[in-house]
């Protein structure tokens, strides 16, 4: 039985609810890892998604950040925040999903943007990634299926953006940022897109400015990192690009992994 897990930065679930419901219906994933829900927990539109058969866990925050996991299967335990990292942002939620073929641990991650470089914002970005690496290293010891999915705010390769020269001064493309992402992979994790496809110039984000969407000037910053046990069961990865062309679209699109 296939299991579909999707990651999507919705850029405000309340502002884009009709669009989100349409995308959910069309993608038909079993588990959604959402970022930038931009609302406190009581304001999350639970009824609309419960009507679609989802169990819901949120870690919200007023106006900014916020992450959520929605699952068609029972959610058995939930962790809010990266263990060992003390900060006030709602950027990480982790759940154990009671999937039919056995439990899978899923996390929704919204890593700090980090701009401008040379400031405490960039320092916090690297600190966040370091705490995440320590946590994922501890998870690997359990030898279980897990998927850490979401907006990492990292452009891993030069071919993951339209024009590297545009991004040289940006926190998403700094050598330290890309090294922090590689450090996660060096633990033994796999980037689902790289395993299933790895084609150049396939993007998950297009800015609202300067006709980026119309010109296909995008970047790939939304990733699913898999434990070896999850990577062994990966069948395919799809970037649901159609979502960016919808009315009131998020500037990100879902990236969806299918497992057997």
From 89, 135, 223, 252, the catalytic residue: 252
Residue 92 falls in the annotated catalytic set = no
- Looking at residue 176, its pLDDT comes to 98
Residue 89 falls in the annotated catalytic set = no
Question: Which tokens hold the place of 210?
Answer: 């300067």
Cis geometry, peptide bond prior to residue 116 (ω within 30 degrees of 0)? yes
- Looking at residue 156, its pLDDT comes to 98
From 89, 92, 110, 191, the catalytic residue: 110
Is 252 known to sit in a ligand binding site? yes
pLDDT digits (tens, 9 = 90+) for 132-171: 999 999 999 999 999 999 999 999 999 999 999 999 999 9
- Looking at residue 1, its pLDDT comes to 83
Complete DSSP assignment for 43-75:
GS-HHHHHTTT-EEEEE--SSS--EEEEESS-E
Is 197 known to sit in a ligand binding site? no
Which segments of the chain have a pLDDT < 50? none
- Looking at residue 85, its pLDDT comes to 94
Is 55 known to sit in a ligand binding site? no
Residue 64 falls in the annotated catalytic set = no
Is 251 known to sit in a ligand binding site? yes
From 151, 160, 191, 222, the catalytic residue: 151
Domains, the chain, ordered by start: 3-259 (3.60.10.10)
Q: Give dist(CA 207, CA 136) in Å, integer.
A: 30
């Amino acid at each position: 039985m296939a299991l579909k897990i999707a990651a999507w930065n919705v850029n405000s679930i309340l502002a884009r609810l009709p669009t989100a419901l349409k995308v959910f219906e069309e993608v038909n994933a079993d588990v959604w890892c959402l970022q930038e829900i931009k609302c406190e927990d009581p304001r999350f539109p639970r009824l609309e998604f419960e009507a679609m058969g989802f169990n819901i866990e949120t870690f919200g925050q007023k106006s900014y950040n916020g992450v959520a996991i929605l699952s068609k299967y029972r959610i058995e335990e939930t962790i809010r925040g990266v263990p060992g990292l003390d900060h006030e942002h709602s950027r990480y939620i982790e759940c154990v999903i009671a999937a039919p073929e056995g439990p899978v641990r899923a996390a929704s991650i919204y890593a700090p943007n980090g701009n401008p470089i040379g400031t405490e914002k960039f320092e916090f970005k690297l600190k966040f990634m370091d705490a995440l690496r320590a946590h994922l290293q501890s998870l690997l010891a359990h030898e279980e299926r897990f998927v850490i999915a979401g907006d990492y705010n990292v452009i891993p390769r030069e071919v993951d953006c339209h024009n590297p020269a545009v991004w040289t001064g940006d926190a998403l493309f700094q050598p330290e940022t890309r090294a922090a992402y590689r450090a996660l992979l060096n633990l033994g994790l796999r980037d689902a897109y790289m395993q299933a496809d790895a084609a150049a110039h396939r993007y998950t984000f297009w800015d609202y400015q300067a006709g980026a969407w119309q010109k296909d000037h995008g970047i790939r910053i939304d990733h699913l990192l898999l434990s070896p046990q999850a990577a062994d069961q990966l069948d395919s990865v799809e970037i649901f690009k159609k979502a960016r062309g919808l009315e009131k679209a998020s500037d990100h699109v879902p990236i969806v992994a299918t497992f057997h």
